[in-house]
């Protein structure tokens, strides 16, 4: 299938996007394993269809025009949808197979991800994974992504379907040794006298924290980091108090009482964890099955986390 709606030729679009990303016809020809002459002809044909110049020559290659920038941005999504649609057609009725390209947020605890990965691999041994981690998955170019895992209420822009697979509370956490040394804060005002560490959530100001009732207050963190697990380990090491999304899973090799929740009834909001897939894949039965399998696996990895929190909330003070 060479064309999509409006008579746009997918091969021409693919050639144009490759030239834009490479910055030259030579680089794109090498990437695609074709000739510069073929690429020039395809781009020229695309410009004729569009009725406007899409590329302009510069000293070291080519750059997209304003119209070319718009087409490149939208075209990447179209190419992804076309590829996903063809892949889904090939695999109708089959068990999940091939490579699943996943982007995840930095700082998810490995000891939570590992059993989920193991459970999915056991259920679908023909399915392989290519995972990359990002400070802000939704800011990534998602043209080469099948699944995006991310925090927050927002879904990716464009034709994506988003599922909430887990809800995690933000907690103030600290090492028991730190609180024995520095004292346990009893109020928000007491936090001013402590070393504070803040998780940098995408698109938010890490210096603004929220209470359980939704009010906000400002702090001066000694450390701001996008890696949740790094902040957790700073707290485990007794360096200060951190505000992070936390599923209350004890770290391997450590007792469940090493980390203590601070002001659990006062500070911290709930954040959804979302799993988003391209719309063209969302109705494929095996994709639905895979999403439900991930949900079930997460439910087993984080068993009754709210009841655990409630049961231990009375033992916050060392």
Least confident range from 47-61, 190-204, 232-246: namely 47-61
Helices in 147-283 by DSSP H: which ranges? 176-182, 228-236, 279-282
State the pLDDT confidence band at 286, using cuts at 50, 70 and 90: low
Does the pLDDT at position 92 exceed 90?
no
Q: What is the pLDDT of residue 243?
A: 96
Domain boundaries, the chain: 3-90, 98-167+273-305, 168-270
Q: What is the pLDDT of residue 85?
A: 61
Supply φ then ψ for residue 107, to 5 degrees: 95, 0
For the packed helices 10-22 and 36-50, what is the interaxial angle rounded to 10 degrees? 110
Long-range contacts, stretch 302-309, CB < 8 angstroms, 24+ apart: 302/112, 302/166, 302/247, 302/248, 302/249, 305/247, 305/248, 305/249, 308/248, 309/169, 309/248, 309/261, 309/264
Give the number of other CB atoms < 10 A from CB of residue 201.
Answer: 20
Q: What is the pLDDT of residue 300?
A: 67
Residue 185 is encoded by which pair of tokens? 């804060």
Pairing of strands 216-218, 208-210: antiparallel
Q: Can you tell me the distance from the alpha carbon of 4 to that of 209, in angstroms, rounded to the nearest whole number? A: 47
C-alpha gyration radius of the chain = 24
State the pLDDT confidence band at 251, using cuts at 50, 70 and 90: confident
Q: Can you tell me the distance from the alpha carbon of 196 to that of 219, in angstroms, rounded to the nearest whole number? A: 8
Provide the 3-class DSSP secondary structure of residue 229: helix
> Mean pLDDT across the chain, nearest whole number?
82
Give 62-85 pLDDT, tens digit per residue. 999 999 998 888 787 777 666 666
> What percentage of the chain reaches a pLDDT higher than 70?
84
CATH superfamily, domain 98-167+273-305, is Periplasmic binding protein-like II (3.40.190.10)
Does the pLDDT at position 315 exceed 70?
no
Least confident range from 23-32, 45-54, 186-195, 246-255: namely 246-255
CATH architecture of residue range(s) 3-90: Orthogonal Bundle (1.10)
Residue 210 is encoded by which pair of tokens? 């929220």
Give bridge partners of residue 242 from the DSSP assignment.
173, 197
Name the pTM for this structure: 0.67
Give bridge partners of residue 137 from the DSSP assignment.
none
Pairing of strands 3-4, 8-9: antiparallel
State the pLDDT confidence band at 112, using cuts at 50, 70 and 90: confident
State the pLDDT confidence band at 56, using cuts at 50, 70 and 90: very high
Supply φ then ψ for residue 279, to 5 degrees: -55, -35
Same topology, domains 3-90 and 168-270? Answer is: no
Class for the domain spanning 168-270:
alpha beta
- Give the number of C-alpha atoms closer than 13 A to the C-alpha of residue 200, restricted to the C-beta side: 13
Does the pLDDT at position 312 exceed 50?
no
| Beta strands per DSSP E along 211-285 | 216-218, 223-225, 241-245, 259-262, 270-278
Give 129-147 pLDDT, tens digit per residue. 889 999 888 887 666 778 8
Mean predicted confidence (pLDDT) in 28-36: 89
């Amino acid at each position: 299938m060479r064309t999509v709606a409006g008579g746009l030729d997918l091969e021409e679009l693919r050639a144009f996007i490759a030239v834009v990303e490479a910055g030259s016809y030579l680089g794109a020809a090498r990437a695609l394993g074709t000739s510069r002459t073929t690429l020039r002809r395809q781009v020229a044909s695309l410009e004729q269809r569009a009725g406007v110049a899409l590329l302009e020559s510069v000293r070291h290659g080519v750059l997209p025009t304003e119209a070319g920038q718009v087409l490149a941005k939208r075209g990447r999504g179209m190419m992804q949808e076309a590829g996903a649609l063809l892949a889904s057609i090939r695999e109708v009725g089959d068990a999940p197979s091939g490579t699943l390209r996943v982007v995840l947020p930095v700082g998810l605890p490995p000891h939570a991800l590992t059993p989920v990965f193991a459970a999915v691999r056991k259920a679908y041994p023909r399915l392989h994974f290519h995972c990359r981690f990002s400070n802000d998955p939704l800011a990534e170019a998602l043209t080469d992504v099948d699944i995006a895992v991310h925090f927050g209420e927002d879904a990716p822009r464009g034709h994506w379907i988003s599922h909430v697979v887990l809800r995690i509370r933000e907690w103030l956490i600290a090492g028991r040794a730190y609180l024995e040394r520095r004292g346990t804060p009893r109020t928000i005002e007491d936090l001013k006298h402590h070393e504070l560490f803040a998780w940098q959530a995408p698109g938010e100001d890490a210096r603004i924290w929220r209470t359980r009732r939704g009010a906000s207050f400002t702090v001066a963190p000694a450390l701001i980091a996008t890696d949740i697990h790094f902040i957790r380990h700073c707290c485990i090491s007794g360096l200060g108090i951190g505000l992070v999304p936390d599923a209350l899973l004890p770290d391997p090799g450590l007792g469940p009482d090493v980390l203590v929740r601070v002001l659990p009834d006062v500070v911290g909001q709930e954040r959804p964890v979302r799993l988003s897939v391209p719309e063209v894949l969302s109705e494929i039965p095996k994709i639905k099955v895979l999403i439900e399998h991930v949900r079930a696996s997460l439910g087993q990895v984080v068993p009754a986390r709210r009841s655990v929190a409630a049961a231990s909330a009375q033992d916050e003070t060392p």
